[in-house]
Amino acid sequence: MEVKFKVVVNDNFEFALSSNDLSAFDSISDTNNSHIIFNNKSIKVDSIRSDFHKRIYTIAINGNRYQTKIENQLDARIAEMGLSLGNTSEKDEIHSPMPGIILEVNVSEGEVVKKGDFLCVLEAMKMENTLTAPRDGIVKSVNIAKGETVDKGKLLIELERND
């Protein structure tokens, strides 16, 4: 079975790789050094920093630093569904993470909400998903109604600061 990966370098360049591509890739490593074999030439690679759990690695090649993030098929599926594992605590807009039906709207315009308060319930893929306030604020607008069908990415609720 072919496994697919996406490699993002310096947040600017994306490369799609498969397990077949990686099997053709030659590298040599010992405890202190790593080398990539490319076009029959050895290129020294220094590992500067690695975060195995987030799959983010900083490497140096010929004195140039590169931050690489490796995403696997699960990461791609999570992004495709519109979900995120990242920190969203400063968002002012709540968008639908996936297509579905609004079962409940628990807030109204002008209402003060606290981080974690229930804003609405979205039924998607036969599951109820409660969307919560990512931060404290005031509900600026509610763009949905109970029973409404929404597409992925639709703006549901907007917040504003209550400073």
pLDDT of residue 117: 92
Amino acid at 13: F
pLDDT, tens digit (0-9, with 9 covering 90-100), for 22-64: 766 677 777 667 888 777 788 888 888 888 888 888 888 888 8
Q: What structural domains and CATH numbers belong to the chain?
A: 4-75 (no CATH), 84-160 (2.40.50.100)
* 103, 129 contact by CB (below 8 A): no
DSSP letter (8 states) at residue 78: H
Reported confidence tier of residue 18, pLDDT bands at 50, 70, 90:
confident
Residue in the block written with tokens 């807030």 = 107
Stretch (H or E) spanning 66? strand 64-71
Per-residue pLDDT of 78-131, as tens digits, reads 766 655 555 444 578 899 988 999 999 999 999 999 988 999 999 988 889 889
- State both tokens at 23: 């099997």
Alpha helix ranges (H) inside the chain: 19-23, 73-80
CA distance 70 to 11: 11
For residues 143 and 57, the model is more confident at 143
Residue 142 pLDDT level (bands cut at 50, 70, 90): very high
Residue 119 to residue 141: CA distance in whole angstroms: 12
What is the per-residue pLDDT for 87?
43
Mean pLDDT in residue range 142-155: 94
| Mean predicted confidence (pLDDT) in 126-154 | 92
What pLDDT is attached to residue 88? 42
Locate 149 and state its tokens: 């069908």
Compute the distance between CA of residue 21 and CA of residue 67 in angstroms, rounded to an integer: 20
Buried b (16+ CB within 10 A) or exposed e, 116-150: eeebbbbebeeeebebebbebbbbeebebeeeeeb
Q: Is the dihedral of CA 42, 48, 53, 56 positive or negative?
A: negative
Strand partners, 64: 61
